[in-house]
Structure 1
């Protein structure tokens, strides 16, 4: 699953969708036109079909289990086992995606809560049942394994996968231990599941006043809209009420997050890694130096961030910048409404540089049941793209009529197109590209959209607005996500050192990092900001967020190559999208033209941020 950059964004929904009640309440799902809802029946038309696949998966799992202890007998047996694993993986992918996305439509729906739990149980059983595969492959003499690969042409498909298994040999346990760990999966995933239900289904927020003085219900989706409001009192009230709500549950949320970190540390220790961070990066075969280089490069560039905060204070005419002043556009009187259909047309136009075929697939997908567009009661907040092999990708949005939401659409469409090309070009075993490269296609789409918008306007104010938007995007990905990465590094290190993650410890860590990144002569970090860690869903997918920063750096480099070099760069880029997980992620990016083992792509993106701050300052001073 690919979670997108989880913008908590919302705007007034277009009245034609009938998605707002008269009292500012969120609509029920059935009130939204089918044209703006995804088509999950493309996975399963009926519950009965889901049940059939669930039964088939169990039957295939029994066949696979019967091969335990026999993999070294012949190349035919090894091939059979790997093919069965693929068949099981493809079907369980559909089972779980369908159940989870149905639950995401309305987290209050107990039918799909139960179906998701059932899918998770099946998944855990399957993981336990196939846990013997890797240990048995590793137990084989390498000469015998090489003989199997040489004599059986069909096994050649799995050579890269087997090489990856051999690479991780020091961290694979016995078959019995692997089965035990796999069987515990449902329990160890509990912190993430509990947080999801607490945050999306149980947590409610007070009423607040919007910019027109109307009382509306504060929601995850509306929070960012309110922080963008030009009225400072609207921003302050939304900030205070959002964070004070989380403060009331600080002990519960700290316990949930601490359990998640302890899970990560436990797995790292039993798998003989030096740290949880090393374990999580090793899955992508990414050296720790990439993570450390990112933090060091961003640390060096903090003066540019502080310069931007100073510009924000000056243009907004504030004595000092508070956290709730960081999101409102500093280019006034350009609050243009961008209905979803208009956003689709603009995004598709911006992708013309990638060729007619890319545009056609994207256009047909957006009109063909890929997307769930609007925020409704109980729906999972944020945005993501998710695909299961053999079925088109899906996109969850909570769209509102804003420029930021149009960029979110472009971002998630990038994910979806990466999944589409990967699934269309790769066999199942290599269709699932790693998370390290997952944010590249999405962020490249955003860069191409920005270039298109800048190229099609000669209005200085609109150009300034777009540059302000790009600065906010880079601030959110390069700076803010790196701050999150530092937080994750610190919390895991504390648990590894035996330090309990109490609310006080988490609050102090998060506040100090905010002070480092956002505290300056022009700004102040409010104390309420210390609870901000409690709002971040991505913290339950440890050491994921740094990939937003590396991804935007790689995407910046690739988009510039595409715009500068044309078709040769496009060909390399589309080849990258089609490559799936068929090579190391670092190698895939190198083939596309970016070396992420070097700090230079990150430094170049940070340099672009600094240049944009200067350009924005000049544009605003000239008006």
Structure 2
């Protein structure tokens, strides 16, 4: 039975993360902010107007790197303390206040890029030759030369950065603070509802009547806020469009993909191939769910149900550690040491409480250890989610140690490869340890329903919808709730065809995803999983040499483009083949689920 969520003050602190590793006390945090503001002012006095030759460029960048490292812990502390309880006024005010301070700092430091880009390219190239440490930073900076505005304009835009982030903050406030869900009833029995309980429990509830009632009640509440949420989103889109136009990018897609170091063809390939070629496999999966559960008509509200809910063990946090340690052991002792520390040193926030951000994420502040947020429900899906987030942690645990603060973070296109890799390693480990048909079906259905459905279907359909939204914005248009609902419904109907009924409420799923405030992010999940699927196959076949190559990729951080990083791991992203191979692999998994189900049903008949 799902219970109402406790307040943050009522949860077991041992199952929360320990932010004291960032700052012991509030006083320490405030002192660090004050000191940072002084250092930024002093740095500006020392270097503004003086970045004139290779030597001063190098000295200036050393100081800039030091300040960048000091910004990280205070920014992380402000954000993480707010993410666990959106109803905590003190945490929200701290986060908001630091947002304003960060904008001021960014404005004060905007002269660095402006002055560097006003120098002749040969001066920057000389600085690169003298200091390899800053070569990557300067190369990327030079590539932005055509899109750099007048220094005073850059300074003004930086000062407004906190305001420009306003729509995302407003979205979270609407979702996590204002949107209060009432209990719903089925056959005279009352059930509690919230964002966390819907996405963590009711969406996958085996009882069809309860699941559909929860979906209806959840959708009804979303609908009450659709116009405010749409206006918030349109505000965000117009800011992006204006910025793209001001900087002179050919299109909003060019602007949003620039820092990802990929062109639009790689973005579109993910969407077009999956929409066309994965759809038949996923429709077969939907028909299998329908058959096994005896559902008359498969609807959108039924797509997240487990294939075999009777074979879904409840897993404690402590038990999850053994699963994850065993599955990731192939990554080596150093990696497992990191995983063990994550549990022992409270890097992970497991609890469910009112006001906590939905979903899961990993924050990996440079110079400190990673932090993971998850709302633990005790299902196998949680183990895959935690393995996923530990993949992000392992990535930056390695990259942050090997690279400087400018070089640690790779392109967004690559960011989901290390995370989904861990899900693949988890699946491979579980499959290798049993021949029991019911266990195998459970594991494969977990891979399909969690790893591939989530990353290759849910996020990819978000990307297909997002592309339609940006095409409209790029032509000078705007959006409202009706337009967004129609676009989302159209994408869902195109993918699922006649096999799934896209019922009322399905079109509102655009309201649930914060990724839309993070640029062209949703498609990168399938891009990352394409890479990790291929590399995990190599690890299965080749063992240690493939693991060593993958660890080298993690350590490389952002020193190479996504295509170069994938190439290091033996995957050629310049062709469609890795994506086609991955889609074929998903098809094979679904075919195996069908075969295992037939075997299990036949065994029942013969008993």
Q: Same fold (TM over 0.5)?
A: yes
Residue in 2 that maps onto 1:105:
84
- Say if 2:383 is the partner of 1:406: yes
Alignment partner for residue 509 of structure 1, among 477, 482, 487?
A: 487
1:481 and 1:381 map into 2 onto residues whose CA distance is: 15
Residue in 1 that maps onto 2:115:
136
Alignment partner for residue 247 of structure 2, among 236, 247, 271?
A: 271
Residue in 2 that maps onto 1:584:
561
Which protein, 1 or 2, shows the higher relative CO under an 8 Å CA cutoff with sep ≥ 6? 1
- Say if 2:5 is the partner of 1:29: no
Secondary structure of the corresponding residue to residue 38 of structure 1? coil
- Say if 2:29 is the partner of 1:50: yes
Deviations 1:145-203 (A, max 9, x none): 333444xx4x3210111111111211111211111211111111110000011111221
Deviations 1:226-248 (A, max 9, x none): 12111100111110011110111
1:459 and 1:214 map into 2 onto residues whose CA distance is: 38
Residue in 1 that maps onto 2:159:
183
Residue in 2 that maps onto 1:8:
none
What is the correspondence of 1:66-465 to structure 2 with a 5 Å cutoff?
A: 66=45, 67-72=47-52, 74-150=53-129, 153=130, 155-208=131-184, 215-224=190-199, 225-301=201-277, 302-465=279-442
1:91 and 1:197 map into 2 onto residues whose CA distance is: 28
Residue in 2 that maps onto 1:525:
502
Secondary structure of the corresponding residue to residue 300 of structure 1? helix
2:378 and 2:582 map into 1 onto residues whose CA distance is: 28
How much does 1:369 deviate?
1.6
Contact conserved, 2:128 with 2:138, CA < 8 A, in 1?
A: no
2:140 and 2:21 map into 1 onto residues whose CA distance is: 33
Secondary structure of the corresponding residue to residue 351 of structure 1? helix
Secondary structure of the corresponding residue to residue 71 of structure 1? coil
Contact conserved, 2:410 with 2:560, CA < 8 A, in 1?
A: no
- Say if 2:483 is the partner of 1:497: no
Question: CA RMSD, aligned part only?
Answer: 1.7
1:409 and 1:142 map into 2 onto residues whose CA distance is: 45
Secondary structure of the corresponding residue to residue 429 of structure 2? helix
Alignment partner for residue 548 of structure 2, among 554, 564, 571?
A: 571
TM-score, normalised on structure 2?
A: 0.95
Contact conserved, 1:482 with 1:546, CA < 8 A, in 2?
A: yes
Cα gap change, 1:569 to 1:214, in 2 (>3 Å): farther
How much does 1:596 deviate?
2.1
1:531 and 1:69 map into 2 onto residues whose CA distance is: 51
1:411 and 1:392 map into 2 onto residues whose CA distance is: 17
2:440 and 2:15 map into 1 onto residues whose CA distance is: 31
1:294 and 1:331 map into 2 onto residues whose CA distance is: 30
- Say if 2:43 is the partner of 1:64: yes
How much does 1:525 deviate?
0.8
Contact conserved, 1:481 with 1:545, CA < 8 A, in 2?
A: yes
How much does 1:291 deviate?
0.8
1:289 and 1:500 map into 2 onto residues whose CA distance is: 24
In structure 1, runs of 5+ residues without a counterpart are: 1-10, 13-23
Q: Across the two proteins, how many residue pairs are aligned to each other?
A: 596
- Say if 2:453 is the partner of 1:478: no
TM-score, normalised on structure 1?
A: 0.93
How much does 1:137 deviate?
1.5
Alignment partner for residue 41 of structure 1, among 10, 20, 25?
A: 20
Residue in 1 that maps onto 2:598:
621
1:335 and 1:299 map into 2 onto residues whose CA distance is: 30
2:430 and 2:536 map into 1 onto residues whose CA distance is: 14
Cα gap change, 1:411 to 1:147, in 2 (>3 Å): closer
Contact conserved, 2:121 with 2:142, CA < 8 A, in 1?
A: no
Cα gap change, 1:210 to 1:381, in 2 (>3 Å): farther
